[in-house]
């Protein structure tokens, strides 16, 4: 402690670890292919800014073997297939698993229609050699054997093709403890005379299985880091225990960080393969970004000052006691 300084500031490093349950709930999804080759996938989940639209579209496109622009994902309506609330870091593992299964079933059914109505070349082709190519179904090494999706559905007497899936946690999971893990590293600078604290660097390393979209996942974790800094240094609910009311229920008196309070944040994802946690091998990154940050900030402040503060938020008056 107190071994490093620059000018009037004492510099400290701290780290902490975090773990959050890798949960999965029952969820359903529907996938509908129309004659124009467009696929609409739907589930009554939500997107509260966490990138659900993007992740589900990617999962569907991967399962179908089509580009993203051929998939539309619908959510936010209770008339759609049932899904759990968006929380608990389980949306991608729950709804994503249902989307994956529904789209694979749709693809398999399309392959069967091609084998039945596509002609001799499709009837004799191996299933794995039949695939989507734009608005066509093709087989073989090239695209010389092809049939338009519109034509195929017309021959089958169908206006559209629909599949729905409901996916639940499987019994194999019961034998394991499953979690998302993190290690958080913080650099804090404390003004020796004023007691003011600046968190100048944070590195959050997260092991969360298969990352569907690294960009949106990293943004999610970085937002959690901001929450953790806010928990450590800013947020404090003050209550009148006689009246039973909160005294600082406004953004003038209840402090949250602003841009000037947040500096460098780096998010790293540790490569991890897990075929037990769910069919996609994904784990949520909603809560894991917050966990461990406040503890790492506290450890960094101890390293900088030699003072161990065990009550949050860590305000300058506590550093002068």
Contact by Cβ (8 Å): 293, 227 = yes
Q: How far apart are CA 273 and CA 72, in angstroms?
A: 28
> Helices 52-64 and 91-117: crossing angle, nearest 10°?
30
Cβ neighbours, 10 Å, residue 290:
23
> Cα(260)–Cα(251) distance, rounded to whole angstroms?
16
Sheet of strand 136-139: strand arrangement: 130-133, 136-139, 145-148
Whole-number Å distance between alpha carbons of 40 and 60: 9
> Is 287 marked active-site?
yes
Q: Say which residue the tokens 């249902």 belong to.
A: 98
Token pair 């225990």 is found at: 241
DSSP-derived pairing of the beta strands 4-6 and 9-21: antiparallel
Cα–Cα dist 287/180, whole Å: 9
For 82-135, strand residue ranges (E) read: 130-133
Other C-beta atoms within 10 Å of 111: how many?
Answer: 21
Which of these is catalytic: 9, 86, 163, 287? Answer: 287
Across the chain, where does the E strand assignment appear?
Answer: 4-6, 9-21, 27-34, 39-42, 71-74, 130-133, 136-139, 145-148, 160-167, 179-191, 197-207, 239-240, 245-246, 264-269
Q: Is residue 18 a contact partner of residue 202, using CB atoms and an 8 Å limit?
A: no
Pairwise CA distance, residues 299 & 290, whole Å: 16
Residues annotated catalytic, as ranges: 287
């Amino acid at each position: 402690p107190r071994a490093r300084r620059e000018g009037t500031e004492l510099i400290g490093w701290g780290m902490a670890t975090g773990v959050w349950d890798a949960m999965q709930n029952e969820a359903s999804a529907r996938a509908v292919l129309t004659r124009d080759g467009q696929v609409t996938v739907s589930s009554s989940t939500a997107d509260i800014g966490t990138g659900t639209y993007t992740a589900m579209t990617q999962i569907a496109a991967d399962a179908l073997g089509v580009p993203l622009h051929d998939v539309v994902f619908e959510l936010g309506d209770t008339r759609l297939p049932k899904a759990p609330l968006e929380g608990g870091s389980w949306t991608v593992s729950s709804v994503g698993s249902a989307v994956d299964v529904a789209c694979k079933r749709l693809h398999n059914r399309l392959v069967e229609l091609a084998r039945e109505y596509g002609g001799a070349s499709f009837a004799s082709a191996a299933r794995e050699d039949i695939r989507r190519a734009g608005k066509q179904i093709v087989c073989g090494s090239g695209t010389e054997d092809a049939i338009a999706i519109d034509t195929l559905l017309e021959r089958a007497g169908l206006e559209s093709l629909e599949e729905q899936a409901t996916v639940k946690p499987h019994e194999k999971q019961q034998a394991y403890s499953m979690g998302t893990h993190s290690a958080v590293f913080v650099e804090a600078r404390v003004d020796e005379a004023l007691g003011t604290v600046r968190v100048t660097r944070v590195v959050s390393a997260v092991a969360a299985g298969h990352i569907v979209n690294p960009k949106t996942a990293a943004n999610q974790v970085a937002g959690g880091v901001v929450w953790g800094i806010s928990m450590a240094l800013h947020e404090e609910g003050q209550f009148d225990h006689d009246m039973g009311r909160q005294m600082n229920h406004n953004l003038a008196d209840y402090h949250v960080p602003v841009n000037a309070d947040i500096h460098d944040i780096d998010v790293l994802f540790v490569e991890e393969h897990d075929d037990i946690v769910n069919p996609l091998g994904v784990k949520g990154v909603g809560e894991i970004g917050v966990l461990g940050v406040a503890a790492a900030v506290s450890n960094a402040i101890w390293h900088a000052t030699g003072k161990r503060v065990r009550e949050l938020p860590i305000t300058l008056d506590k550093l002068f006691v």
